[in-house]
A and B are shown apart, each in its own frame.
Chain A
């Protein structure tokens, strides 16, 4: 287990990183909440199709088990539910439509990481991702790299920043260069009107 993780480590040896040790496991375990767990979120998506980011905000909820709900309130109401390998999307005034989770690796990643984090399930997280940790208990960053080659083809990595027992920020780096940054909990209220990658990174890592 440890051996397999040391290989990717050597590539980034310049940074003070720690492998999925007992400390990391303890950190992940400490993040667990009882279901249903809800958190406000604000998301900015930087896409190569667009010349400025898309911003939405709403609430993310773990409903227990493998069920996750993403409710967008602004700018247009939309609810996406992931349950039993299916994604169902419902927009105001439109018929709901659903598709398989298999067709949306980004969602699979979201589900795996989110459910594992909210349930404090380090083993599950470790099954889906290579886990690296930066920082200390006060301010940390978990770097998750999907183990599944197919998933890794579309999602390069997920980084989660937090303080203490609180996740504050989630950044999903897609393989084609697109980036989604989710500000979580209290931080969600601080999404700038015109976000930039740098500003958000600073917000996630930054003080206060």
Chain B
């Protein structure tokens, strides 16, 4: 090929890659929501979990702290007595006042932001019930259930108000009194405050460690790191905009924050390891081939694989899950072998195209069998696995065909034949002289069985969260804040089910006495039912019926006021409100939704395929059995959802689908290889080492006490793909010692580069990266050793 032609081809290829890159940049929508990755749920609890993963009221809660930073001591600084300004804590009352004003400022800013459905800072907030809803207080407050608004009650209440007026609290109540002499608004405020409140200083919550505390419920689901990152960013911006915010530090906790931390942590470590191993990888290839041009060019098939794969995904699916991409890139690791094989098998003076042609049957067998095997993943029906299949198959084909038809036309003509290297000849000699005992497969197989039987601990790891664990201090802090704030548990949710929203509210009201009993005997610290925020229409009507007629109320009030010093006519607003309340249409969730509290209720009252669910949050569970017993004779309308158990069963279901797909893939692989090689003996030489090595990795990891997760399985599949290459090429008998040396060279470079990249990952601190790194490294080592030891003896042709 002429230089001009080469240049044209290179430019064309780069342009196509740039085009794909542009397409990907424009269309790719990465979802981080766990739901788009998981398989379709089958049990009712799993279905609920899928909806509630991140949507449950508890998991959307962010716990905020504002803690004082220490401030430079002003007097020293101004007098210039000491060059280093020492740090002095503010006096306690000044510190609390500053933190409280920051807390109030932040709460006020967030309450005006649509991204947050509830903001609590402990301040007494009458605005929760806006003034147009004020007459509703008689329908919302439980007072009338036990107490009619009669003369005796009013007289008692008014006497108490008189005492209030002569007390220090007078200033607080003066404004409220004419409209609300029975203080229903205060009763409601108390009812809606979190079940257990932390200490209040300067009107806002404080922890024992002198931090101001806030609770913020986000509209975004808790386990969607991107949405949570935006919600948290919004809070940070609102905080920084406050005057004096630099004097204190804003801290976060809660599931949403954790998902952000975990994602960032994983990305950070992967990036860091990736950079180091890329440098090593490049150095290795430069040492192996001594040609920068060849190295740069051989990056093109890999880039093609990645870009073509993602482009296909963006065209076929509206959204791609982040985990699918991570799995996909892991599996695409196999394509680095293609250009390496080509580079190692080039002969001096020979056209690259010619070398490739000799190599192509084996390479094509590897590519085709892998692609056909991945079809099984496509057929699994699970969205995440389908995406994985499309990504990988398109990537493998793009890399394979560009390596076959494009790369050789670009490679420089002059190369060093690796077959001439002295050490390689020696190495090949050693390999050829290795014993290949016939009993080796049987020995390895029985060792595997024995190790799998003896391995300690559970076989599978079902807890996805265990793969991205959070630092212990973060978890301790969360437990401390959760305890202080009485914030709901993320694990349990009490589910109330009915055909209508009103049905759920009625059920919730019926459940209240049993729940109160549970709280009283400390089976649970608090259980927040939806009817706490909105009584059913029936209950509201019952209260409405108990409201006295205007004339009767006037009479009762008149009698009650006898002998008390209240100014005549003072309580006109009260009389008006009661009259209004008597004819109000009961408050429904829809009408309520406009108010801040309505949004709180909306999180607890959700609609699902024509049914309504009440989600009651639970905090401080001490007796799970007692909670479960709540729903014992409800006929399934009340049940305790254990989100952890449900998510683990979902992961187990997902794994079953992967294993089924894997089984089908294995069958397809055997058929493809048999068809390609047309000899059972050759098939045995390729597939036996591959199978044994795969199970050997599994057995070794189990012996080390490792529980197998989805990520281990995916890594095993990649290692299997690499092992297939080793076995295929070692099995390929050309009868030419030089070609055999080149095969060894290529395989060694492949093995070393894989060990370099994945071995580095094996050192990562994050279990998910370690799982992939360790599994692939072990896999590569076992596949390499077994495929050598189980390869047929080379025919030593006479040179």
Contact = CB atoms under 8 A, between A and B. Distances in A.
Contact of A84 (B162, B174, B201): B201
B568 A104 contact: no
Contact of B93 (A85, A91, A99): A85
Contacts of A52: 565
Contacts of B105: none
A154 B171 contact: yes
A80 B168 contact: yes
Most buried by B among A48, A49, A72, A174: A49
A48 B165 contact: no
A1 interface: no
Nearest to A94: B160
A50 B170 contact: no
B558 to A, nearest CB: 15
Contact of B567 (A48, A84, A103): A48
A87 B200 CA distance: 11
Contacts of B675: none
Contacts, number: 86
Contact of A100 (B165, B201, B565, B570): B201
B179 to A, nearest CB: 12
B169 A89 contact: yes
B84 interface: no
A133 interface: no
Interface in A28-52: 43, 45, 47-52
A30 to B, nearest CB: 27
Nearest to A178: B174
A104 B565 contact: no
Contact of A72 (B166, B178, B567): B166
A45 B171 CA distance: 12
Contacts of A105: 171
A87 B169 contact: yes
Contact of B165 (A45, A99, A101): A45
B201 A80 contact: no
A76 interface: yes
Given A85-B93, A102-B100, A54 B201 contact: no
Contact of B200 (A48, A100, A106): A100
Nearest to A81: B168
B187 to A, nearest CB: 13
Contacts of B568: 51
Interface string B12-39: 0000000000000000000000000000
B203 A102 contact: yes
A101 B93 CA distance: 12
A49 B177 contact: yes
A128 interface: no
Contacts of B113: none
A1 to B, nearest CB: 19
A72 B170 CA distance: 14
B271 interface: no
A87 B165 contact: no
B202 interface: yes
Contacts of A107: 168, 171
Contacts of A121: none
A54 B169 contact: no
Contacts of A54: 162, 165-166, 565
B707 to A, nearest CB: 51
B203 A106 contact: no
Interface in B82-106: 93, 96, 100
Contacts of B130: none
Contact of A49 (B124, B171, B178, B201): B178
B172 A51 contact: no
Contact of A43 (B163, B166, B200): B166
B147 interface: no
Contacts of B202: 85, 100-102
A49 B174 CA distance: 8
Contacts of A66: 93
Contacts of B583: none
Given A49-B177, A51-B566, A106-B171, A100 B166 contact: no
A99 B174 contact: no
Given A78-B163, A102-B202, A103-B124, A45 B170 contact: yes
A86 B174 CA distance: 19
A187 interface: no
A125 B187 CA distance: 38
A70 interface: yes
Interface in B164-189: 165-172, 174, 177-178
Given A49-B178, A52-B565, A85 B168 contact: no
Interface string A93-128: 000001111111111001000000000000000000
B169 A50 contact: no
B166 A56 contact: yes
A85 B199 CA distance: 12
Interface string B132-169: 00000000000000000000000000000011011111
Interface string A45-82: 10111111111100000000010001010001010101
A87 B168 contact: yes
B167 A80 contact: yes
A104 B171 CA distance: 6
Contacts of A70: 168
A104 B201 contact: no
A192 to B, nearest CB: 16
B168 A104 contact: yes
Interface in A141-194: 154, 174, 176, 178
Contacts of B93: 66, 85
Contacts of A48: 567
A82 B168 CA distance: 10
A50 B165 contact: yes
A154 B277 CA distance: 69
Interface in B554-601: 565-568, 570
A51 B569 CA distance: 11
Contact of B96 (A47, A85, A103): A85
B167 A89 contact: yes
A125 to B, nearest CB: 17
Contacts of A103: 124, 171-172, 203
Interface string B345-382: 00000000000000000000000000000000000000
Contacts of B162: 54
A76 B200 contact: no
B166 A45 contact: yes
B567 A106 contact: no
Given A49-B174, A78-B163, A86-B201, A106 B565 contact: no
Contacts of A55: 166
Contacts of A72: 166-167
Nearest to B159: A76
A48 B568 CA distance: 11
B566 to A, nearest CB: 6
Nearest to B202: A102
A89 B201 CA distance: 16
Nearest to A47: B165
Contacts of B172: 99, 103-104
A89 B567 CA distance: 26
B61 to A, nearest CB: 24
B134 to A, nearest CB: 19
Contacts of B177: 49
Interface string B703-716: 00000000000000
Closest 3 CB pairs of A and B: A100-B203, A50-B565, A54-B166
Given A76-B163, A102-B203, 14 more contacts: A45-B166, A47-B165, A50-B565, A50-B567, A51-B565, A56-B166, A78-B167, A82-B168, A86-B201, A91-B163, A99-B169, A106-B171, A107-B171, A154-B171
19 contacts: A45-B165, A45-B166, A48-B567, A49-B165, A49-B566, A49-B570, A51-B566, A66-B93, A72-B166, A76-B163, A80-B168, A82-B168, A85-B96, A85-B201, A87-B169, A99-B200, A103-B203, A106-B171, A110-B168
Interface of B: 93, 96, 100, 124, 162-163, 165-172, 174, 177-178, 200-203, 565-568, 570
